[in-house]
Amino acid sequence: MAKGRVGILTSGGDCSGLNAVIASVVKVGIPMGYEFVGFERGWEGVLSPITCRPLGLNDVRGISFIGGTILKTTNRGRFGGKVGAGGVRRIPDDILEMAKANLQEVGIDALVVIGGDGTLNAALQLEEFGVKIIGVPKTIDNDLMATDRTFGFSTAVQVVTDALDRIHTTASSHSRILFLETMGRHAGWIALRAGLAGGADAILLPEFPFKVHDLMEFLRYRQEQYGSSIVVVAEGAMIDDRQVIRAGGKSSEVLLGGVSTEVMRTLEEMAPGEFEMRGTVLGHVQRGGTPNPADRILAKAYGVEAIKAVDRGESGVMVAYQNQEMCTVPIADACGQLKTVRNDTMEYVTARDLGVFIH
C-alpha cells in the first residue's frame, strides 16, 4: 500500500533545471513508498478539466539534463497570483475551491509546486484552503527572497557570458559600441553577474536609474581611449526613473523590453553620427537548453529536500538553499518582496571599483 500520493506541477516561465527537480522528487520518493501524479500546464492542470498523468521511475529516467519541463508550464490562466514587481492578486475563492476539490478527487495528499514569486503566491493562497503544499523556488532572475540561489540562474548567466565573449571581438574589430540586452524585469542579477564575468564596460540595472547624458560622456571617453565598448542592459533598466514598456501580451504582468534600442536611439539623437552602435537582445535563449552542472546539482538538491519535507509532514513551506545547506522556510518569507541588487552587493562593488559604468 502506498504511503501517499504526491502531485507535482511546474508553473510560470520555464528554465533549465525543472526536469531535474521532477526526477529527483520521484526517484527519492518512490523507494520511500509514495506515488506521484504530474499536473500538466501548471495550475491549469489542477483546474477543471483536470490534466494529469502518473509519474514513475521510467517516466523520469534521463530527463535531468533536458531543458524545459516534461509537465509543460504556463504563466497565464485562472490561477495567476502575481501582478508586477512583488504585487499579489487574490485568486477568487471559487477557483481555489475547484483546485482543492480536484486534488481530492485525484487523491493527492501533498502537492509539490515548482515556480517563482507568482506561482508561490498562488500556492500560499491554496494552502490557506487546507491543501498541503511544498514549494520549490524557480526563477532565472535569482530574485526570490529566503534562498541564496535559484536553479536556472547559473545557466542564464553562462549564456549571457558566452555571448559577451563572442561580441568583444566584433566590437573591437569595428570600433563599435555593442549593446547586449538581458532578461531581468525588476532585478538585475543576470546582467550584473554576466556583465562582470564577461568584461562589460557598462552595466545598466533596474535597481539604479541612469541618465543617458552620463552614459554618453562615459562612452565618449571609452571611444577616445579604447575605440570600442560593451554595454549590458537588463530589460528593466531605468532611464531617468522610467522603464521601457512594450505593448501586447495577455499576462497580468507589465511587459518590458526594448530598452537597449531606446538607449541607442536617444544617444543618436544627442550625438548624431558620433557612435557606431549595434544591439543584440538575447531573450528566451537565456531560459532554454541544457542546464549547466551547477544548476543540475542545485535542482536535484531541491527535489530531494522537497520530498523529504513531504515525508516530514510539513506544509506551507518552501525548500531553500541557505549557507550551503538545504532547509525549509515559510512560503510567505519568499513572497511579496523581491531580492534585488544593492549598492553594497559584492558584484556591484567589484564592477564599480573596476571602473564599470554602473549607477
Q: How many distinct structural domains can be found in the chain?
A: 2
What CATH number is given to the structural domain containing 256?
3.40.50.460
pLDDT given at position 311: 98
Q: Angle at Cα 78 formed by Cα 74 and Cα 83, nearest 5°?
A: 75
Establish if 201 belongs to a structural domain.
yes
Question: Residue length, the chain?
Answer: 359
Establish if 117 belongs to a structural domain.
yes
Establish if 319 belongs to a structural domain.
yes
pLDDT given at position 204: 97
Over residues 96-144, the pLDDT tens digits come to 999 999 999 999 999 999 999 989 999 999 999 999 999 999 999 999 9
- AA letter at 202: A
Among 230, 258, 287, residue at a domain's last position: 287
Establish if 348 belongs to a structural domain.
no
Establish if 356 belongs to a structural domain.
no
Task: Tell whether the model's pLDDT for residue 81 goes beyond 90.
Answer: no
The residues annotated as belonging to the active site are 141
pLDDT band at 74 (very low <50, low <70, confident <90, very high): confident
Which of 88-92, 238-242, 272-276 has maximum average pLDDT? 272-276
Q: Using alpha carbons, list the distances in angstroms from residue 17 to 23, 152, 312, 331.
A: 10, 6, 24, 20
Please give the model's pTM, rounded to 2 decimal places.
0.92
Asked if 38 and 147 sit in the same domain, the reply is yes
Establish if 342 belongs to a structural domain.
no
Over residues 50-63, the pLDDT tens digits come to 999 999 999 999 99
Asked if 184 and 246 sit in the same domain, the reply is yes
| Long-range contacts of 247-255, Cβ-Cβ distance < 8 Å, separation of 24 or more | 250/76, 251/75, 251/76, 251/80, 252/80, 252/82, 252/83, 252/89, 253/75, 253/82, 253/83, 253/84, 253/118, 253/185, 254/84, 254/185
Asked if 27 and 96 sit in the same domain, the reply is yes
| Cβ-contact 204, 177 below 8 angstroms | no
Establish if 357 belongs to a structural domain.
no
Task: Tell whether the model's pLDDT for residue 246 goes beyond 70.
Answer: no
Q: Which domain holds residue 249?
A: 154-287
Establish if 114 belongs to a structural domain.
yes
What CATH number is given to the structural domain containing 19?
3.40.50.450
Q: Using alpha carbons, list the distances in angstroms from residue 123 to 80, 105, 119, 229.
A: 10, 18, 6, 44
